[in-house]
Amino acid sequence: MKYVSARVQGRVQGVGFRYFTQHAAMSHNITGWVKNEDDGAVSLEAYGEDNHIDRFLEEIKKGPTRFAKVSEMDVNKLSGDPEYTSFDVKY
Protein backbone atom coordinates (compact mmCIF):
# COMPACT_ATOMS: atom_id res chain seq x y z
CA MET A 1 0.00 0.00 0.00
CA LYS A 2 1.12 3.54 -0.72
CA TYR A 3 0.25 6.70 1.23
CA VAL A 4 1.09 10.06 -0.35
CA SER A 5 0.42 13.76 -0.01
CA ALA A 6 0.46 16.10 -2.98
CA ARG A 7 0.29 19.81 -3.63
CA VAL A 8 -1.00 20.72 -7.07
CA GLN A 9 -0.42 24.19 -8.53
CA GLY A 10 -1.64 25.91 -11.66
CA ARG A 11 -5.19 26.71 -12.75
CA VAL A 12 -6.76 24.21 -10.34
CA GLN A 13 -9.43 26.21 -8.52
CA GLY A 14 -12.79 27.12 -9.99
CA VAL A 15 -12.52 24.45 -12.70
CA GLY A 16 -13.98 21.39 -10.90
CA PHE A 17 -10.57 20.06 -9.91
CA ARG A 18 -11.54 18.79 -6.44
CA TYR A 19 -14.54 16.87 -7.74
CA PHE A 20 -12.48 15.50 -10.63
CA THR A 21 -9.90 14.34 -8.07
CA GLN A 22 -12.58 12.71 -5.92
CA HIS A 23 -14.03 10.88 -8.93
CA ALA A 24 -10.57 9.73 -10.07
CA ALA A 25 -9.79 8.48 -6.55
CA MET A 26 -13.02 6.54 -6.34
CA SER A 27 -12.42 4.94 -9.76
CA HIS A 28 -8.97 3.79 -8.57
CA ASN A 29 -10.17 2.53 -5.14
CA ILE A 30 -8.24 5.23 -3.29
CA THR A 31 -9.18 6.81 0.02
CA GLY A 32 -8.15 10.20 1.40
CA TRP A 33 -9.11 13.83 0.84
CA VAL A 34 -8.64 16.90 -1.36
CA LYS A 35 -9.02 20.61 -0.54
CA ASN A 36 -8.38 24.08 -1.94
CA GLU A 37 -5.65 26.14 -0.32
CA ASP A 38 -5.80 29.90 0.25
CA ASP A 39 -2.87 30.48 -2.13
CA GLY A 40 -4.69 28.92 -5.12
CA ALA A 41 -3.14 25.45 -4.88
CA VAL A 42 -4.95 22.19 -4.16
CA SER A 43 -3.69 19.74 -1.52
CA LEU A 44 -4.55 16.07 -1.19
CA GLU A 45 -3.72 12.90 0.68
CA ALA A 46 -4.29 9.53 -0.96
CA TYR A 47 -3.98 5.95 0.23
CA GLY A 48 -4.25 2.80 -1.86
CA GLU A 49 -2.50 0.04 -3.77
CA ASP A 50 0.83 1.18 -5.24
CA ASN A 51 -0.19 0.84 -8.89
CA HIS A 52 -3.58 2.49 -8.22
CA ILE A 53 -1.88 5.50 -6.62
CA ASP A 54 0.53 5.78 -9.56
CA ARG A 55 -2.32 5.76 -12.12
CA PHE A 56 -4.35 8.19 -9.99
CA LEU A 57 -1.45 10.68 -9.82
CA GLU A 58 -0.93 10.46 -13.59
CA GLU A 59 -4.62 11.25 -14.11
CA ILE A 60 -4.45 14.17 -11.67
CA LYS A 61 -1.52 15.68 -13.61
CA LYS A 62 -3.77 15.93 -16.68
CA GLY A 63 -6.60 17.73 -14.86
CA PRO A 64 -10.37 17.61 -15.41
CA THR A 65 -11.05 19.86 -18.39
CA ARG A 66 -9.45 22.04 -20.96
CA PHE A 67 -9.88 24.91 -18.47
CA ALA A 68 -7.66 23.32 -15.82
CA LYS A 69 -3.89 23.41 -16.13
CA VAL A 70 -1.53 21.70 -13.72
CA SER A 71 1.79 23.52 -13.79
CA GLU A 72 3.42 21.72 -10.87
CA MET A 73 2.69 18.76 -8.63
CA ASP A 74 4.84 17.93 -5.62
CA VAL A 75 4.26 14.43 -4.24
CA ASN A 76 5.61 13.15 -0.93
CA LYS A 77 5.45 9.62 0.44
CA LEU A 78 3.94 9.34 3.90
CA SER A 79 4.19 6.43 6.34
CA GLY A 80 1.55 4.54 8.23
CA ASP A 81 -2.07 3.66 7.56
CA PRO A 82 -4.36 6.70 7.79
CA GLU A 83 -7.42 4.42 8.05
CA TYR A 84 -9.47 6.56 5.65
CA THR A 85 -12.78 4.99 4.66
CA SER A 86 -13.63 7.23 1.67
CA PHE A 87 -12.22 10.01 -0.47
CA ASP A 88 -13.65 13.34 0.64
CA VAL A 89 -13.66 16.93 -0.57
CA LYS A 90 -12.67 19.14 2.35
CA TYR A 91 -13.79 22.73 2.70
Of the candidates 7, 11, 29, 36, the residue annotated as catalytic is 36
| CA-wise closest residue to 17 among 49, 38, 43, 39 | 43
Of the candidates 7, 18, 51, 55, the residue annotated as catalytic is 18
Helix ranges restricted to H, the chain: 17-27, 50-62
- How far is residue 29 CA from its own chain's centroid? 13
66 included as an active-site residue:
no
Catalytic positions:
18, 36
